[in-house]
Amino acid sequence: MMLLTLAAGCAPASTAGPSPTSVLGRIRTKGELVVGTAASMPPLNMTTKTGEIIGLEIDLAQAMADAMRVKLRLATMPFVDLLPALEAGQVDMILSGMSMTPERNMKFAFVGPYLTSGKSFLAKETTVASSKGSEDLNTPTMRLAALRGSTSEVFVQQNMPKATLVSTKDYDEAIILLLQDKVDAMIADLPACLFAVRRYPDRGLYALETPLTYEPIGIALSGNDPLLLNWTQNWLRELETTGALERTTERWFKDTAWLRRLP
């Protein structure tokens, strides 16, 4: 979080207030920025043993609230409920590994990407060793777990239609099913797969390190507030220009000490 302080502190205060009916007006009136997160997607967002929510996106959310000079409130919910909550005005924005897809962008505005990812799969090494190749994923006997409401779920439906899709509420549920041999693989974003291997080093897990797709990850916003959209674009550009975004990303992706804090 310290790496983002400079960029957050440099943001000038607005002299002309936004419309009180806008999202930005609501944020300033309440003195609170409400950010939606699944809180279960390491290293972007995750919940520790003590219940604290940490991660790259949580640092970004806090830096944004600091720049706005308001308090941050994290609204945690299953990933599938995030966009409906944004549409209903229950959250002001989403930072939760949200891919900037054309379909989503038809209803919501996106700022970014602040990270690029892609689809990978997590499986037991014994499963991978007995596999003849990626075509084995698309068979009736293959059970594939994917996050409900995610692009991973769509990826399985479109590319592995013969496989049995098991939709889960979060990554933890999918990983537990895999460890218990109730599914054969988890289809998910690359960081989730890689860090699952590091989180369970003695469980014989394997993650495909070359992503199968390209997916830009961004901040989801309401499409009805151009001032908030512009503010967020300028704020993220400043983080990129000063190097604060790169340093914070490296902190979460290269220093894995935080893994010991997870349940």
The answer on 81 and 24 residing in a single domain is yes
pLDDT, the chain, mean = 92
Is residue 177 located within the same domain as residue 250?
A: no
Residue type, 262: L
Three-state secondary structure of the chain: CHHHHHHHHCCCCCCCCCCCCCHHHHHHHHCEEEEEECCCECCCEEECCCCCEECHHHHHHHHHHHHHCCEEEEEECCHHHHHHHHHCCCCCEECCCCECCHHHHCCEEEEEEEEEECEEEEEEHHHHHHCCCHHHHCCCCCEEEEECCCHHHHHHHHHCCCCEEEEECCHHHHHHHHHCCCCCEEEEEHHHHHHHHHHCCCCCEEECCCCCCCEEEEEEEECCCHHHHHHHHHHHHHHHHHCHHHHHHHHHHHCCHHHHHCC
CB 111 within 8 A of CB 223: no
Neighbours of 144 (CB within 10 A): 24
Cβ pair 137, 160 in contact under 8 A? yes
21, 56 contact by CB (below 8 A) = no
Strand partners, 218: none
Do 64 and 160 belong together in one domain?
Answer: no
What are the distances in angstroms from CA 78 to CA 67, 74, 82, 221, 236?
A: 27, 13, 7, 18, 26
Domain co-membership, 40 together with 102 = yes
Q: Are residues 10 and 43 in the same domain?
A: yes
Is the same domain home to 105 and 169?
Answer: no
Do 102 and 11 have their domain in common?
yes
Examine the domain organization and report whether 83 and 199 are in the same domain. Answer: no
Question: What confidence tens digit (pLDDT) does each residue in 145-194 have?
Answer: 999 999 999 999 999 999 999 999 999 999 999 999 999 999 999 999 99
Same domain, 171 and 248: no
- Token pair for 238: 């400043």
Report phi then psi at 167, rounded to 5: -85, 135
Containing structural domain, residue 85: 2-116+216-261
Same domain, 86 and 131: no
Same domain, 31 and 75: yes
pLDDT in tens, 223-236: 999 999 999 999 99
Read off the CATH number of the domain in which 72 is found: 3.40.190.10
Point out the least confidently predicted range of 38-42, 67-71, 138-142: 138-142
The tally of domains found in the chain comes to: 2
Residue range 70-106, pLDDT digits in tens: 999 999 999 999 999 999 999 999 999 999 999 999 9
Mean pLDDT lowest among 13-22, 131-140, 160-169, 173-182: 13-22
Residues 106 and 226 in one domain: yes
